[in-house]
Structure 1
Amino acid sequence: MLEMLSLLACFACAEAASLPVPDVGTPVDVELVLAVDISQSMDEDEFALQRAGYVEALRHRDFINTVRSGTNGRIALAYFEWAGVVRDDGVIAWQVIDGEDSANAFADKIASRPFRSFRGTSISGALGFGTGLLEKSAFSAPRRVIDISGDGPNNTGRPVAAIRDAAVAEGIVINGLPILI
């Protein structure tokens, strides 16, 4: 969990239904997409570790201080769960994180999600979906990042290298967070 906190804090430097949609071009320090593996290869302990790590990191004082210390003092954050595909009900839309209240609200949304899993592991599909979220965001950021966590190889969908290379060519940073117990 400490590694995940460190990574989230670094990314912060470098739409919830109850919140207003940001104006097009709203400046943030980073647009960060959390892509979370819920494939059947994730056992309950791995899934719980993964989720608890994100929730704890978002609530941690160091993360919040790092977000606030950026040029704009805010980041844009989106979250989605993936397996062989990404389902609409597995997405938490973009939200601005600019302090403790917004970080805790986002963490609460992650924490309240039901545990579930689906067949297949399409890392390429997850990267493609995350890239699409970044392309359609209403924000302006000097840095765009996809953190993709998981515990297994791509076994469905297109080859990962082509999707990864296309995202990197668009200036997107991709971080892989292996979840192995």
Structure 2
Amino acid sequence: MLKLFSLLACLACAEAAPMPAIGGTAVDVELVLAVDISQSMDEEEFALQRAGYVEALRHPDFISAARSGPRGRIALAYFEWAGVVRDDGVIGWQVIDGADSANAFADTIAGRPFRSFRGTSISGALGFGAGLLEKNSYSAPRRVIDISGDGPNNAGLPVAMIRDAALAKGIVVNGLPILI
């Protein structure tokens, strides 16, 4: 499972065709990690999910992929979601341009306490992630939301509608199921 997280994180950073920066700081990829903390996630699933992201961020292949594009850096944000996204569950945008920045981001994730909340709004998480991508100070030819979770949408709008809106904006959505 941890290797899967590493592989998916590297794929999210795969080099895209160069495009001119439209505005903001130019990066190769804008990547959002959206992490399920709903009550359907038990501590074992939560630990697996978090360890996967932390290991992926520290992995030399991820760091190499983050540096492999024409700009040599990506922008990364992380948030935790359940029925809603809480402000205290967001790690804001940071540039990842090597091992030091990747390890610092991984340390921030690893230091967060375990907590869970009611509801599973995949649509809310996708909408929040799309908003992060639309309203940041970066510009990239590739924008990606990696959303992980263990259950179906049971709160908020239908997932297909929000997913389709994200896709229409050129946002890639990767679903990472957590099944133990």
Q: TM-score, normalised by structure 2?
A: 0.94
Residue 137 of structure 2 corresponds to residue 138 of structure 1: yes
| Structure 2 residue aligned with 1:105 | 104
| Structure 1 residue aligned with 2:53 | 54
| Structure 2 residue aligned with 1:71 | 70
Aligned pair count reads 172
Displacement after TM superposition at 1:68 (Å): 1.2
| Structure 2 residue aligned with 1:92 | 91
AA partner of residue 10 (structure 1): L
| Structure 1 residue aligned with 2:37 | 38
Displacement after TM superposition at 1:69 (Å): 1.4
Displacement after TM superposition at 1:65 (Å): 1.1
1:130-166 CA-to-partner distances (Å, cap 9, x unmatched) read: 0000000101100000000000000010111110000
AA partner of residue 7 (structure 2): S
Displacement after TM superposition at 1:13 (Å): 2.3
1:104-149 CA-to-partner distances (Å, cap 9, x unmatched) read: 0000000000000000000000000000000001011000000000
SS at match of 1:58: helix
Question: What are the residue-to-residue correspondences of 1:115-126 with 2, within 5 Å?
Answer: 115-126=114-125
1:53-110 CA-to-partner distances (Å, cap 9, x unmatched) read: 0000000111111111111100000000000000000000000000000000000000
AA partner of residue 158 (structure 2): P
Displacement after TM superposition at 1:12 (Å): 1.6
| Structure 1 residue aligned with 2:10 | 9
Residues of 2 paired with 1:146 and 1:89: CA distance?
19
CA RMSD of aligned residues (A): 0.7
Structure 1 residue ranges (4+ consecutive) displaced by more than 6 angstroms after TM superposition? none
Q: Point out where structure 2 has 5 or more consecutive residues left out of the alignment.
A: 16-22
Q: TM-score, normalised by structure 1?
A: 0.94
Q: Point out where structure 1 has 5 or more consecutive residues left out of the alignment.
A: 15-23
| Structure 2 residue aligned with 1:83 | 82
AA partner of residue 5 (structure 2): M
Residues of 2 paired with 1:160 and 1:69: CA distance?
33
SS at match of 2:85: coil
1:22-75 CA-to-partner distances (Å, cap 9, x unmatched) read: xx6111000000000000000111000000000000001111111111111000
| Structure 2 residue aligned with 1:180 | 179
State, as a whole percentage, how many aligned pairs show the same letter.
Answer: 79
